[in-house]
C-alpha cells in the first residue's frame, strides 16, 4: 500500500529512525538498508523490504519503480516522504536515497548448510562494523557461504555494516554462536578450521586447503585467544615484510580467502561455489 | 623543553586542535599522530614529533619516557596536560593518549627512488581516509615503498588515515602528482603499471609481474577512468564469484599486492624488500 508522510513527528519516522540503534533492531527483528543499488540487489535475490521509503515528487528511477511494484505486490508498505525526513531517518543531509526496512536474516547455526560453499568466515569478537561489512563483501566475491559470528561481535545489521557490505548482507548467510557452540557444530561434520597467527612459522601458501574451509579471523586489537588457536586444524602466517605485525582484519580475511579460492581454482575442487571463475 | 598546560583556551591547544582540519595542516606543514604504539614506531624509525602532549600526573609508561627523552634531546617540546584537554585535541572522550605533532612527510615525486622497493601503490582519487590508511598498512606488510596519490585524493595526513595506517605513515613514502606528471615520471624509468579492471578477461594470477610493480587502485565508487586503463601495461581482473562486481579499494590493493609478493617470493626476485619472508 502506498501512502505519504510529511510530518517529522509521525510515529513511523521515529520507529524507523530507532532502527539505527542495536537494541531496537533486536527488539523489532528489523534492519535498514539504504540506496537504490543495494535495495535492487536484494530484490533481484528475492528479498523485499517490509517497508520502503522514498522521496515523493520527482519521477522515480525505473529500478525504483520496479521496487515499488514488487513491494506492493508482496503486501509491503511504500511510503513517500520528504528529503528532510529521509535525511532524518538515514542520518545524512539532503538524502535523496531510498530506505528499506528488512526482516533480519540471522540463520540459526544448526540450520547452516556448510556444504553449500567452499569457504566460510568465522569472525571472532569483530568490533568494527566497517570490517564486518567488508568481510561480507569479500565473502560474496570469493563465493563464500557467509560469516559465523563468535563471541561479542558488532551487529551485522548495523547501518554501517550493511553499507560496507555493499549488498552482500543479502547474499551471505549470517549466524551467531558462542565459541563452544560453534566448535561442537563444526566438529559434527567436515571442515578445516584455519587461523592466522603470529605464533607459527607455517606460511599461508604452504598447506593444501580443503573445502569447506572455515577462516577464523580474530579481534582487531587482540587477535585470537590462545585456546582458539589451539583448536584450529591449521595455523598459518601471512608474510609481513615491514614493521607492522598485523593486517586489518578484513584485509587478512581477503588475503586468506583468495589463497583458498586460488587453490580451488587450480584443482578444480570448488565445492558448490555459486559460479565458476572465467 | 617540558612544560604544562591546564587551560582550554591556551593558544597551543587551539593550534593542535586545528590540525584536524586539512587546510590548517597544509598551512602549517604539520600533522597529528596519536597513541603510544604509533609514536614509538615512529621513534624507532628515527622520526620524532616536534611536540608531544601527554597526561600529567601518573608515572609514564617506560616507552613514553623514552619518547619524552628523545623529543627533549632533539630540542622538541614535551607538554603535559589534562585528560580533558587531550580529549579536546584528539576528538575522543577521556583521552589517556599521547599526541605527537609531526612535520609532514610528502616526498616530491622526482625524489622518489623507485628501485628502493619492488611494489608501489598508486591511488587514484581515493576518497576514504580509512582506505588510504589501510593501503599504507598493507604497503608496509608487503614491503612496498609507498603510495603515489594521483588526482584529488583524501589527505594522507588526516587523523583518520594516520590512525588506519597503524604507523605505516612513517614507513611508507607518500608522493602526490597529477596523472600526467606521474605518467611522465613513470615512463622515464623501469616499472610495470598494473590496473585492476572489469574490462579485461586476464586473470590477476596470469601475468608474471616484474618489479618495480606499480599497482593502480581506482576511485572507490567509479574505478579507473578509461584513459588511465589504456595507459596501463597490464590490465587484470580479480575473480568475483558472487553478485558484486568490485572489492573495497584497499582490499583489492591487498589481493593484488600479495599476488605480486607471492610471485617474487617464488622467483627470489624481491628487489630490495626490507626483509625476506621466512
- Region A161-186 average pLDDT: 96
DSSP string, A181-214: HHHHHHHTS--EEEEE-SS---BTTSS---SSEE
Sign of CA dihedral A182, A183, A189, A194: positive
A243 closest CB neighbour out of B140, B246, B250: B140
A239 closest CB neighbour out of B138, B248, B277: B277
How many angstroms separate the CA atoms of B117 and B51, rounded? Answer: 31
In a domain? residue B140: yes
Do residue A210 and residue A136 come from a single domain?
Answer: yes
A241 closest CB neighbour out of B141, B203, B255: B141
Q: Over the stretch A129-156, which tens digit does the pLDDT of each residue have?
A: 999 999 999 999 999 999 999 999 999 9
**pLDDT exceeds 80 at position A273:** no
Q: Over the stretch B169-188, which tens digit does the pLDDT of each residue have?
A: 999 999 999 999 999 999 99
Burial B232-257 (b: 16+ CB within 10 A, else e): bebbbbbbbbbbbebbbbbbbbbbbb
Cβ atoms B135, B147 nearer than 8 A:
yes
In a domain? residue B274: no
Q: Over the stretch A238-263, which tens digit does the pLDDT of each residue have?
A: 999 998 888 999 999 999 999 999 99
Which of A242, A154, A153, A227 has its CA nearest to residue A197?
Answer: A227
B278 closest CB neighbour out of A44, A140, A201: A201
- Region B197-220 average pLDDT: 96
Cell numbers placing A211: 573445502
Sorting pLDDT into bands at 50, 70 and 90, what band is B277?
very low
In a domain? residue A274: no
Complex prediction ipTM: 0.91
Sorting pLDDT into bands at 50, 70 and 90, what band is B3?
confident
Do residue B13 and residue B113 come from a single domain?
Answer: no
Q: Which residues of A touch B274 (CB under 8 A)?
A: 241-242
Tell me the sheet residues that pair with B31: B102
Domain boundary pick from A86, A103, A120: A103
Do residue A114 and residue A79 come from a single domain?
Answer: no
Sorting pLDDT into bands at 50, 70 and 90, what band is B198?
confident
CB contact under 8 A, A254 and B247: yes
Q: How far is CA B244 from each of CA A36, A139, B70, B166, rounded to the nearest angstrom?
A: 14, 10, 50, 29
In a domain? residue A196: yes
- Smallest CA–CA distance, residue B104 to chain A, in Å, is 20
| Residue B278 confidence (pLDDT) | 32
**pLDDT exceeds 60 at position B33:** yes
In a domain? residue A253: yes
- Smallest CA–CA distance, residue A69 to chain B, in Å, is 23
Residue B56 domain boundaries: 2-103
Sorting pLDDT into bands at 50, 70 and 90, what band is A272?
very low
Cell numbers placing B176: 602526490
Sign of CA dihedral B38, B39, B44, B46: positive
How many angstroms separate the CA atoms of B275 and B278, rounded? Answer: 9
Total number of residues shown for chain A: 278
Do residue A184 and residue A256 come from a single domain?
Answer: yes
Cell numbers placing A164: 560496507
Instruction: Report the domain count for chain B.
Output: 2
Helices (H), chain B: 11-18, 22-28, 36-44, 62-73, 83-90, 129-142, 159-165, 179-187, 226-230, 249-267
CA-nearest residue of chain B to A272? B241
Cell numbers placing A180: 563452544
Do residue A13 and residue A113 come from a single domain?
Answer: no
CB contact under 8 A, A244 and B140: yes
Q: Over the stretch B15-30, which tens digit does the pLDDT of each residue have?
A: 999 999 999 999 999 9
Domain boundary pick from B103, B133, B148: B103
Q: Which residues of B touch A134 (CB under 8 A)?
A: 248, 251
**pLDDT exceeds 90 at position A58:** no
Helices (H), B19-151: 22-28, 36-44, 62-73, 83-90, 129-142
- Smallest CA–CA distance, residue B45 to chain A, in Å, is 9
Do residue A85 and residue A138 come from a single domain?
Answer: no
CB contact under 8 A, A141 and B238: yes
**pLDDT exceeds 50 at position A101:** yes
Do residue A145 and residue A253 come from a single domain?
Answer: yes
Radius of gyration from C-alpha coordinates of chain A:
20
Do residue A88 and residue A115 come from a single domain?
Answer: no
Mutate to test the interface with B, among A141, A163, A165, A265 (most CBs of B within 10 A): A141
- Region A164-184 average pLDDT: 96
| Residue A268 confidence (pLDDT) | 78
Task: Please list, in sequence order, all residues whose beta carbon lies within 8 angstroms of the beta carbon of residue B133, skipping any fewer than 6 positions away.
Answer: B156, B160, B161, B162, B163, B164, B165, B166, B168, B169
| Residue B269 confidence (pLDDT) | 61
| Residue B141 confidence (pLDDT) | 97
Sorting pLDDT into bands at 50, 70 and 90, what band is B57?
confident
In a domain? residue A14: yes
Sorting pLDDT into bands at 50, 70 and 90, what band is A276?
very low
For B114-247, strand residue ranges (E) read 119-124, 146-150, 173-177, 192-196, 213-217, 234-236
Q: What is the CATH number of the domain that holds B68?
A: 3.30.1330.30
| Residue B93 confidence (pLDDT) | 66
- Smallest CA–CA distance, residue B245 to chain A, in Å, is 8
Surface-to-core class of residue A11, CB atoms within 10 Å of its CB (0-12 exposed, 13-18 middle, 19+ buried):
exposed
In a domain? residue B272: no
CA-nearest residue of chain A to B170? A243
CB contact under 8 A, B134 and A248: yes
- Region A211-222 average pLDDT: 95
Task: Map A143-159 to HEC letters.
Answer: CCCEEEEECCCCCCCCH
Do residue A60 and residue A148 come from a single domain?
Answer: no
What's the CA dihedral at B221, B224, B226, B230 to 10 degrees? -170
Do residue B116 and residue B200 come from a single domain?
Answer: yes
Q: What is the CATH number of the domain that holds A241?
A: 3.40.1280.10
Do residue B10 and residue B136 come from a single domain?
Answer: no
**pLDDT exceeds 60 at position A226:** yes
A242 closest CB neighbour out of B171, B250, B251: B171
Mean pLDDT score of chain B, rounded to an integer? 92
In a domain? residue B245: yes
Mutate to test the interface with B, among A201, A241, A262 (most CBs of B within 10 A): A241
Kindly report the CA angle at A142 between A137 and A143, in degrees rounded to 5? Answer: 95
How many angstroms separate the CA atoms of A252 and A234, rounded? Answer: 15
Total number of residues shown for chain B: 278
Do residue B195 and residue B156 come from a single domain?
Answer: yes
How many angstroms separate the CA atoms of B273 and B257, rounded? Answer: 13
**pLDDT exceeds 60 at position A274:** no
Domain boundary pick from B103, B131, B155: B103
Amino acid at each position: 500500500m502506498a501512502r505519504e508522510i510529511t510530518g517529522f513527528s509521525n510515529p513511523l519516522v521515529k520507529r524507523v529512525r530507532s532502527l539505527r540503534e542495536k537494541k531496537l533492531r533486536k527488539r523489532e527483528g528489523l534492519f535498514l538498508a539504504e540506496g537504490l543499488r543495494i535495495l535492487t540487489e536484494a530484490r533481484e535475490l528475492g528479498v523485499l523490504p517490509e517497508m520502503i521509503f522514498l522521496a515523493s515528487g520527482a519521477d522515480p528511477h525505473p529500478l525504483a519503480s520496479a521496487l515499488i511494484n514488487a513491494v506492493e505486490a508482496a503486501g509491503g508498505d511504500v511510503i513517500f516522504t520528504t528529503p528532510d525526513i529521509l535525511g532524518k531517518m538515514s542520518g545524512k543531509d539532503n538524502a535523496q536515497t531510498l530506505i528499506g526496512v528488512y526482516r533480519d536474516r540471522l540463520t540459526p547455526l544448526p540450520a547452516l548448510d556448510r556444504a553449500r560453499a567452499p569457504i566460510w568466515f568465522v569472525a571472532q569478537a569483530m568490533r568494527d562494523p566497517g570490517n564486518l561489512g567488508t568481510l561480507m563483501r569479500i565473502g560474496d566475491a570469493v563465493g563464500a557461504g557467509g560469516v559465523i559470528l563468535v563471541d561479542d561481535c558488532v551487529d551485522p545489521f548495523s547501518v554501517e555494516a550493511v553499507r560496507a557490505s555493499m549488498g552482500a548482507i543479502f547474499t551471505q548467510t549470517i549466524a551467531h554462536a558462542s565459541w563452544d557452540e560453534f566448535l561442537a557444530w563444526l566438529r559434527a561434520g567436515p571442515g578445516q578450521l584455519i587461523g592466522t597467527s603470529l605464533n607459527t612459522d607455517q606460511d599461508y601458501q604452504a598447506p593444501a586447503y580443503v573445502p569447506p574451509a572455515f577462516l577464523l579471523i580474530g579481534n582487531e586489537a587482540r587477535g585470537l585467544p590462545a585456546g582458539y588457536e589451539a583448536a584450529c586444524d591449521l595455523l598459518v602466517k601471512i608474510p609481513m615484510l615491514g614493521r607492522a605485525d598485523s593486517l586489518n582484519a578484513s584485509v587478512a580475511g581477503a588475503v586468506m580467502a583468495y589463497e583458498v579460492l586460488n587453490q580451488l581454482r587450480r584443482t578444480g575442487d570448488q565445492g558448490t561455489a555459486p559460479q565458476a571463475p572465467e
